[in-house]
Amino acid sequence: MKLSIIIPVLNEAKSLPALLSSIKDQDFTDYEVIVADNNSTDETIKIAKEAGCKIVAGGMPAVGRNNGAKVAKGKYLLFLDADVILSGNFINDALAEMEYKEIKVATCSIIPISDKMIDAILHEVVNTYIFLTQYFYPHAPGFCILITKKLHEKINGFDESLKLAEDHDYVKRAENEGKFRLLQKPKIFVSIRRLKTDGRLNVSTKYLLCELYRMMLGEVKTDAFKYKFGHHQE
């Protein structure tokens, strides 16, 4: 099998169908979808099963991603969040670029599902930062990371002890063993629900402080930033 798509979830009945539909609409069939569920109480599991997904036990995102990877059969692993949507031909474009450029771990540019100029600006700032730092201090949002399974296993997956930015730590460690890049052609559409729930200024400030924390003190192993998984669904 070429690709395993791994999605950690917690009560994602509203968001998951759109993602699964965007996967099904891809001009690519050699894949499996693995849903790592953190005890959802809505119809998330029913939706996933009806779509033919494999279900595994989840937890916090790092736990869910690692659990999904353990049963994955694909040569490549694509980690997504439930509230994203793939652009047309995303998978073919991503895998083609990975193989042509001999990339081992990657992410792509993000486009907010919003018509507000402020959201476009905030996400373009993120895209620019990822682009500028890709060669010496790689970053990748956990909602879109593509990696070879061999490299995932070599670095022992995501660090489940981290409280925040485990995705950036993951690609930083992976880059030490294989080439990391921001893919050029594929794009991913992302929900702005966290920005709506927590506030754009609060979210931006939190992640800026988190980045400064990592630079000065190392990876985030405390609850200093009080991250909650799925709180925007409450």
This prediction's pTM: 0.94
Residue 32 lies in domain: 3-192
In a domain, 42, yes or no: yes
pLDDT digits (tens, 9 = 90+) for 112-165: 999 999 999 999 999 999 999 999 999 999 999 999 999 999 999 999 999 899
In a domain, 216, yes or no: no
Residue 18 pLDDT greater than 60, yes or no: yes
Give pLDDT, residue 225: 62
C-alpha distances in Å from residue 81, one per residue of 15, 188, 201: 9, 11, 22
Q: In whole numbers, what is the pLDDT of the chain averaged over residues?
A: 94
Share above pLDDT 70 across residues of the chain, in percent, rounded to a whole number: 95
In a domain, 94, yes or no: yes
Average pLDDT value for residue range 165-192? 97
- Render the burial of 143-181: b for 16+ CB within 10 Å, e for the rest: bbbbbbbebbeebebbbeebbbbbbbbbbbbbbeebebb
Question: Which among 93-97, 213-217, 219-223 has the top mean pLDDT?
Answer: 93-97
In a domain, 204, yes or no: no
In a domain, 226, yes or no: no
In a domain, 231, yes or no: no
How far apart are the C-alpha atoms of 16 and 44, rounded to whole Å?
7
CATH number, position 165: 3.90.550.10
Token look-up 């994955």 returns 72
Give pLDDT, residue 227: 61
In a domain, 212, yes or no: no
Task: Return the structure tokens found at 163.
Answer: 């409280």
Give pLDDT, residue 167: 96
Give pLDDT, residue 213: 86
Residue 232 pLDDT greater than 60, yes or no: no
Task: Return the structure tokens found at 222.
Answer: 């405390």
Give pLDDT, residue 183: 98
SS3 label, residue 165? coil
The count of domains in the chain is: 1
In a domain, 233, yes or no: no
pLDDT digits (tens, 9 = 90+) for 42-81: 999 999 999 999 999 999 999 999 999 999 999 999 999 9
Give pLDDT, residue 234: 45
110 in Cβ contact with 38 (< 8 Å): no
Average pLDDT value for residue range 181-196? 96
Q: What is the dihedral of CA 68, 70, 76, 82, to 10 degrees?
A: 10
